[in-house]
Amino acid sequence: MRGKRKKDVIEEYLRGGTSYRELGSKYGVSSSTLQRWVEAAGRDKTAGAESGFTEKAKEAEKAEGADPTAEIRRLREELRRERLHNELLNAMIDIAEEQFEIPIRKKRGAKR
């Protein structure tokens, strides 16, 4: 895969919403190769960056100075996604406990 196309695939992954597996199928590259590319790109950016901020943090900084209502919308959407993620994890634990009959969650008041 050419350098420009590789960069585009990495950027598409970093924008979010697409898994390594989906991108691998789309571009004919293994998901493990894509993961190595993304990790390497992250190391390259961190090594050359003046600060340790991630791209998301930089975007948040820009948004704070621009439009407060846009920042509120972004934060509400982020909160909604995190709540959904939490619900899904709890459902997975419930299903696993039921199917395998193994208590996964720590019981309240248990000795430490």
pLDDT recorded at residue 42: 77
Are the C-beta atoms of 14 and 6 separated by less than 8 Å?
no
Q: What is the pLDDT of residues 99-108, one digit of tens each?
A: 998 888 877 7
pLDDT recorded at residue 56: 59
Q: Which of 27, 25, 22 is nearest to 7 (CA)?
A: 27
3-state SS, one letter per residue, for 5-29: HHHHHHHHHHHCCCCHHHHHHHHCC
Q: What is the pLDDT of residues 28-56, one digit of tens each?
A: 889 888 888 888 887 765 544 434 445 55
pTM: 0.39
pLDDT recorded at residue 53: 44
